[in-house]
Every structure is written in C-alpha cells, then in structure tokens.
Amino acid sequence: MTRLSVRLPGYECSMVLWGKRVGVAVAYGALVGAVSRLWKDTWSDSLTFGISMAVVMLGVASAMDIRKRAGKD
C-alpha cells in the first residue's frame, strides 16, 4: 500500500471502509440481480434491479456516515 506524504487523520481508514462498502454493495447487487433472473425477469430488468439496489446501499451508507460525523448518532 502506498503511503501518503502528508498525514491525513482517518483518510486511510475511511478509504478502506468505503472500499469495503462498495465491495459489499456490488456483491449484494449481483446477488439481487441473480435472484431476479431466477424469477424469470429479463436480463435488463435483473441488471437494473441489481444496480439500483447497490446504489441504494451506498446511499444509505453515505447518509449514515454524514449523520455520524454530524454527531447525530
């Protein structure tokens, strides 16, 4: 892993956390898309549903992060 020349507090942990969130969202979107395809939906419906669920998961994670930083835990 490349080290930053300027130390930013929490930056590396935040990037790792968002990397994990994106990974989980992509995996969940793929799972939802596969289940949708098993229900005999069309490929475009399955793809759209999987992508929209991944975007919703990232939106919820972003909203939770904003509320946490604002102190409204």
What is the structure's pLDDT at 65? Answer: 87
Residue whose entry in the numeric block shows the structure tokens 């989980």? 24
Judge whether 28 and 51 are in contact, CB under 8 Å.
no
How does 49-66 read in b/e, with b if 16+ C-beta sit within 10 Å? bbbebbeebbeebeeeee
What is the structure's pLDDT at 23? Answer: 93
48-63 residue pLDDT tens:
999 999 999 999 999 9
Q: pTM of the prediction?
A: 0.73
30-46 residue pLDDT tens:
999 999 889 888 889 88
pLDDT category at 13 given cuts 50, 70, 90 is confident
